Amino acid sequence: MIDVKTVAGLHRTTVQQWHSQQIDNPYHGFLHLICDQHQTNYLLWHQEEIARNPQAGDAKIAEAKRTIDRLSQKRSALLEKVDDCLVSQLEAWGARPRPGARLNTETPGSVIDRLSILALRIYHAEEQTRRGDLDEGQAEEIAHRLTILQEQHKDLSASLVELLDDIVAGRKRLKVYRQFKTCNDPAMSPAVYAAAQRPAA
């Protein structure tokens, strides 16, 4: 259904490439969707870095915050699209949950999203280890954090493999949970529709 090693490899490879070349998505089919999800997290990460920069001016921070809102909304939509795609694949294969099949606390789309974030954290932790201004204590702390992040990634990957096996075998059922993010939605976000209704000064 999904090769988790392939997904993890996509996350790792692209985050390395995107730091040195133009962001792209050379994949097809389901992996194109996974790359789009990962790309959104990549862009979010770096917009959040801009917003946290203590030297950034108010206009720059405001611009970054609005970009973060748009990307967060896209991230939620892509998480749902991943799960929708998996539901369609299961239906096409004739895979159905058994009577009494349990739900999981997380969907595969949510787990893949978390793996994407972990890949970003691992890359940036590895980047920190190459700094020349660290004292011995700081270097040890970063190395410790990196070890924990790598362990978390390994554990989460193994959990995703198990979850997918359970879904395909019918032991668990996949149900798509809608995020219903309202930011930037002109019909649903009070901040947006209220502003549109106010008369111009």
Is 150 inside any structural domain? yes
For residue 191, the model assigns a pLDDT of: 56
pLDDT interval class at 183 (50, 70, 90): low
Torsion of CA 122, 124, 125, 129, to 10 degrees: 130
3 vs 95: CA distance, rounded Å: 17
Is 199 inside any structural domain? no
- Averaged pLDDT score across all residues of the chain: 91
Is 195 inside any structural domain? no
- Encoded amino acid at 173, one letter: R
Is 147 inside any structural domain? yes
Long-range contacts of 124-129 (CB under 8 A, 24+ apart): 125/149
Phi, psi of 84 (to 5 degrees): -60, -40
Does pLDDT of 152 surpass 70? yes
Nearest to 18 by CA among 93, 97, 113, 127: 127
**Taking a C-beta distance cutoff of 8 angstroms, is the pair 115, 159 a contact?**
no
- Encoded amino acid at 114, one letter: R
pLDDT interval class at 196 (50, 70, 90): low
162 alpha-carbon distance from chain centroid: 20
Nearest to 61 by CA among 71, 70, 73, 49: 49
Nearest to 50 by CA among 37, 64, 70: 64
Domain range for residue 122?
Answer: 4-185
For residue 132, the model assigns a pLDDT of: 87
Is 163 inside any structural domain? yes
How many folded domains does the chain comprise?
Answer: 1
Is 122 inside any structural domain? yes
Compute the average pLDDT of residues 126-150: 93
183 vs 66: CA distance, rounded Å: 10
- Write the pLDDT tens digit of every residue in 96-105: 999 999 999 9
**Taking a C-beta distance cutoff of 8 angstroms, is the pair 15, 38 a contact?**
yes
Can you tell me whether residue 106 is helix, strand or coil?
A: coil
Compute the average pLDDT of residues 85-112: 94
pLDDT interval class at 2 (50, 70, 90): confident
Token code pair at residue 149? 């992040």
Is 193 inside any structural domain? no
Is 154 inside any structural domain? yes
For residue 178, the model assigns a pLDDT of: 84
